[in-house]
Chain A
Amino acid sequence: MYFSLIRGKKVSDNNKTGLLNTMQDRLRVPWRGGAKQVAFDSILPVIILPSMLLLGSISLWWTVFSFTTVAIFLSLIFNFLIKTIPNTKFFFVWTVTSMVLLYFIFEFIVIPFLEILVEENILLSALIFGFIICLYTTKIRANELTSLGTEECESSVGKEVGGFYNCRICDNKIPDKDHHCVWFDCCISKHNQCCFIAALFFAIAALLYSSNLTLTSVCHPFEFYKTILLPDDCSDVYYQFELALSFVSAIYSIAIAILLTVILLQQIFLVSIGMSLKEWNKLSIISKLCLGLNTKRIHNRGFLKNWSKIICWNKYQYHPLNREV
């Protein structure tokens, strides 16, 4: 591989995978009963996120620099990790680290400013709790599918499976698969899509609410239509480290909330027209511009039935195909 780099030749995928596996094997931390192997890709978010927020607290230009750098890094590493380490935990650890870090900054840096009421804190915690419950349920339901093994499945009476799709990351065939969400580290299908959408909603609400509380605490607020507090002057947050760190974490929250809102709207749109994300990605550009309405949608059953198919209390019953009958 070294000689390949010297000669300017492309490194083969096998060599790349081998290198990463070696790095992973060498990375260990002291643990009870001996050194425990820790995946290299799982450690990265725990290092990158605190560094990004701390660097961003230095000044406005450092904020722009650190956020831009991390955004570029993520976009570069996204495809690379998916291809070389299909079951990478990098993105899921990123999600968990973000959540823990933002909550910690909120509770132990913003709350001590003494400007947020206890009921406001409780409401935020309720939203976070709702998100965690939905995330947990999403993953539980996803695991139920993989536990069916590699055998093909048959739906219960009256229900119709829209098709089995192989998930390279899960290494399994998933019925009614919509897409694999690397940030939640599980497949999304009709089986758990409702929980996924609810998790997105709670996450967006919690992120926007916490960033509003934070920004109105560290900046000068004004009342919008005499009910909602909004920040209007944040020009001196960088003169104090606590204010800057709170401000930067609030900006990060808003950025995530915007991305999640895009995903949520996409999910709502796709469910409404009866397509999965995989099908949508295969459409031509012209079809996408027509919102997919001019394309044959084999799974579309109309707006109401599409939504009723993913409703939370529906519980699919998948059984192994009885080959002997």
Chain B
Amino acid sequence: MITRCVRIICALVICVAVYFPARHARHYEYIPLKKVIQELTFVDGTPHSENHLRNCSYEDLILKSKEVPVSDITKPKKFELPLRGGEYIPRQCNSIIKTAIVVPYRNRSEQLQIFLNYMHSFLQQQSIHYKLFVVEQNNSLPFNRAQMINYGASVAISLNYPCLVLHDVDLIPLSTGNIYACSERPRHMSSSLDTFRYNLPYLTLFGGAIAILSQQYEEVNGMSNLFFGWGGEDDDFYTRLISHNLFPYRFDPEISRYSMLFHRKQPKNEERYETLKKSLKENKNDGLNNLHRKYYIVQEDLFTRIVVF
């Protein structure tokens, strides 16, 4: 009798240990496709409204989303040459979405070429007003992704872009309905990533591609500048948003599919957990408000380059 009880208890313990959901990729709540349009925030008419164009419509774009084959990513794309600095304003209708795409960057020129070729084509099909900012770290310190994003965001905010998309250079959106616009709450765009088997590793994952209103980004004082090397800065950012009652969410996996361009895995930042603890206490003084001035801006043909020393 006792032996049988011991066996049953052992079996239960093993089952719990092996099948505990937190050990696995997670299913997550998301906004279904039909309700995505209601979540988007739009700007009022732009100065171009004097042309008497009607406002652009995005409902069909989202509801009739198609998937781009991964093999098409590297093929040359046709797109209208944007204004100098990588800005595009649609001419066939009046855009009510105005987005700055901020790309932290260092020594990934091949990926940047693929990214620019793909994204200009992808975004122009969406009929949105956008500008691409590539923020390059030009020093010998380990890469500080969050700080680069802060620089890009501060420049974009000073140019009156109401919507920010914080975007890794190695991520390529695969769904044509994945609109690069902001929503009521911060949105984790890349929740269905191929290197994670199109699953979400954990519910608080907030890396890759994020859409957030400029006003919300300023409200949380941007991202922490303390994270050098790989890892941790997105978890810190997630915590900042939560502490300001900005609860991130995700759209339908159907329009959240991304492919990651291949690259050598970066060594993990072993101190990221200690840095995470420290940064949680410092977010009022660490972020957008303590950036130094040592950077310059170059208007390239397809993007705006911000070089940070």
Contact = CB atoms under 8 A, between A and B. Distances in A.
Interface of A: 107, 111-118, 120-122, 125, 216-217, 220-223, 226, 229, 233, 236, 239-240
Contacts of A115: 25, 196-197, 199, 201
Interface residues of B, number: 21
A117 B265 contact: no
Contacts of A223: 70, 194, 198
B260 A116 contact: no
Interface in B271-294: none
A120 B18 CA distance: 12
B195 interface: yes
A42 to B, nearest CB: 25
A286 B229 CA distance: 67
Given A220-B195, A221-B194, A222-B70, A118 B24 contact: yes
Given A220-B194, A221-B194, A116 B25 contact: yes
A209 to B, nearest CB: 14
Contacts of A233: 262
A226 B195 CA distance: 15
Interface in B230-286: 260, 262, 264-265
A216 B264 CA distance: 17
A107 B195 CA distance: 19
B55 to A, nearest CB: 34
Contacts of A226: 67
B171 to A, nearest CB: 13
B197 A111 contact: no
14 contacts: A113-B201, A114-B201, A115-B196, A116-B197, A117-B25, A117-B27, A117-B199, A118-B19, A120-B24, A217-B197, A220-B195, A220-B260, A221-B194, A223-B194
Nearest to A219: B195
B195 A111 contact: no
Interface string B179-218: 0000000000000001111110110000000000000000
A122 B201 contact: no
Given A111-B24, A121-B24, A229 B197 contact: yes
A118 B26 CA distance: 8
B262 A220 contact: yes
Contacts of B265: 236, 239-240
A125 B262 CA distance: 32
Contacts of A111: 23-24
Given A114-B196, A115-B196, A221-B194, 10 more contacts: A114-B202, A116-B25, A116-B197, A117-B24, A118-B24, A121-B19, A122-B19, A217-B197, A229-B197, A229-B198
A223 B71 CA distance: 11
B21 interface: yes
A239 B194 contact: no
Interface of B: 18-19, 21, 23-25, 27, 67, 70, 194-199, 201-202, 260, 262, 264-265
Contacts of A229: 197-198
Given A236-B264, A239-B264, A240-B265, A114 B195 contact: no
A127 to B, nearest CB: 15
Nearest to B261: A220
Most B Cβ at <10 Å: residue of A111, A114, A120, A226:
A114
Nearest to B174: A223
Nearest to A232: B70
B24 A116 contact: yes
Given A118-B21, A121-B18, A239-B265, A222 B194 contact: yes
Contacts of A116: 24-25, 197, 199
A107 B18 contact: yes
A187 to B, nearest CB: 31
A222 B19 CA distance: 26
A220 B97 CA distance: 34
Nearest to A103: B18
Contact of B25 (A107, A114, A122): A114
B207 to A, nearest CB: 13
A249 B19 CA distance: 21
B185 to A, nearest CB: 24
A117 B198 CA distance: 11
Contacts of A236: 264-265
A276 B264 CA distance: 53
Nearest to A237: B265
A226 to B, nearest CB: 8
Contacts of B196: 114-115
B295 to A, nearest CB: 33
Nearest to A235: B262
Nearest to A217: B197
A220 B24 CA distance: 18
Nearest to B67: A226
Contacts of B24: 111, 114, 116-118, 120-121
A235 to B, nearest CB: 8
Nearest to B202: A114
A118 B262 CA distance: 27
Contacts of A117: 24-25, 27, 199
Nearest to B194: A221
B267 to A, nearest CB: 9
A239 B27 CA distance: 30
A120 B260 CA distance: 23
